[in-house]
Amino acid sequence: MKAYIQRKIDEFQQQNKNKARLLISCPDKPGIVAAVSKFLFGKGANIIESNQYSMNPEGGEFFIRIEFECPDLAYRRDEIEEDFKQIAEAFSMDWKLMYVAQTKKVAIFVSKEQHCLLELLWEWQSGDLMANIALVISNHEDSREIVESLDIPFHYIPANKEIRKQVEAEQLNLLAQYEVDFVILARYMQILTPDFVAKLPNRIINIHHSFLPAFVGAKPYERAYNRGVKLIGATSHYVTNDLDEGPIIEQDISRVDHRDDVAKLKKSGQSIERSVLARAVKWHLEDRVIVHENKTIVF
């Protein structure tokens, strides 16, 4: 299975070796799109996809994502990045140039519930989640067999609040060892410390089993049932030090009614959690998300 996935990654990298994505945020003013387009044209690049958004044309923030193809990109990266700095300075840009062929390395954290992990693994096996799943870390042994059957390293690290710093030090060592780009919390039921979060800003994606900001905290389905809700949902967001209040990437909902008990609510909710998390992860992998303050712009 690992060899099959690696072939898919190799094919993807070969097909996209000359493609890159430019993500920009800056104060809005005339000439931004023209300057960037002219720059790329001057480098012989062809723009494949372009999306832009202005919070307010009169002094607001401007965001743009451009995907382009450029001949011999692998040999011209330093030149392009160095030359683009002049435009970036002229428009006070916060920018990133991401190379499509550089598939991101991912670590998945999971506890006992496996539905989100299994969804990600299925998407990965099918080639629809174009990433290198470097390892899975869990505070329970439940997922070891399924993970190792796919030749993915599985690391069991018991965790509780008394040994949290020790646990996170071990986790961070593993992330560094595997050169992980970002972390997915696939129903990992441990609160991360500010020190851990600070080392991976906007690079930890969580799935929350309710439609935030409703029912934050423990036992959301029980509380939703007691409240007699008619909608349940799930929220995927970047992790910050404000519990379950980080920038939201994706949300979805499903209708329920008085006939649905807590067990049915949970079953419906888990289905939403799987799809919401998978979409959020794909958008991050495709460099479609720009974080601005506590919001996201998703192109």
What is the per-residue pLDDT across 170-195, written as a single tens digit (0 to 9) for each?
Answer: 999 999 999 999 999 999 999 999 99
Mean pLDDT of 156-161: 91
Mean pLDDT of 43-69: 96
Using one digit for the tens of pLDDT, what is the confidence trace for 201-257? 999 999 988 765 677 767 778 888 888 888 888 999 999 988 778 999 999 999 989
Q: Decide: 180 and 159 in contact? Cβ < 8 Å.
A: no
Q: What is the dihedral of CA 24, 29, 31, 35, to 10 degrees?
A: -30
Residue located via tokens 């505070």: 139
Q: Which residues of 194-221 are buried (b: 16+ CB within 10 A; e: fewer)?
A: eebbeebebbbbbbbbbbbeebeeeebb
Burial label, 176 (beta-carbon count in 10 A; 0-12, 13-18, 19+): exposed
CA distance 66 to 154: 37
Q: What is the pLDDT of residue 213?
A: 62
Q: Look at 81 and 162; give whichever has higher pLDDT.
A: 81
Q: What is the pLDDT of residue 194?
A: 94
Beta bridge partners of 132: 105
Mean pLDDT of 17-30: 97
Spatial CB neighbours of 169, under 8 Å, sequence gap ≥ 6: none
Q: What is the pLDDT of residue 160?
A: 85
Q: What is the pLDDT of residue 24?
A: 98
Helix (H) or strand (E) holding 146: helix 144-148
Whole-number CA gyration radius for the chain = 21
**244 classed as catalytic:** yes
List own/partner pairs for 70-76 with CB under 8 A and 24 or more apart.
70/18, 70/19, 70/20, 70/40, 70/43, 70/44, 70/45, 70/46, 71/18, 71/44, 72/18, 73/17, 73/18, 73/19, 73/20, 73/99, 74/17, 74/18, 74/101, 76/43
Using one digit for the tens of pLDDT, what is the confidence trace for 259-290? 989 899 889 999 999 999 999 999 999 999 99
Residue among 244, 252, 261, 287 flagged as catalytic:
244
What pTM value is reported for the model? 0.93
Phi and psi angles of residue 185, each rounded to the nearest 5 degrees, phi first: -95, 95
Cβ atoms within 10 Å of 245's Cβ, excluding its own: 15
Cβ atoms within 10 Å of 191's Cβ, excluding its own: 14
Using one digit for the tens of pLDDT, what is the confidence trace for 110-149? 999 999 999 999 999 999 999 999 999 999 999 999 999 9
CA distance 21 to 68: 6
Which of the four pLDDT bands, split at 50, 70 and 90, describes residue 1? low
Q: What is the pLDDT of residue 211?
A: 67
What is the CB-side half-sphere exposure of residue 122 using CA atoms within 13 A?
10
Mean pLDDT of 161-167: 90
Phi and psi angles of residue 232, each rounded to the nearest 5 degrees, phi first: -125, 165
Mean pLDDT of the chain: 94
Which of the four pLDDT bands, split at 50, 70 and 90, describes residue 6? confident
Helix (H) or strand (E) holding 89: helix 73-90
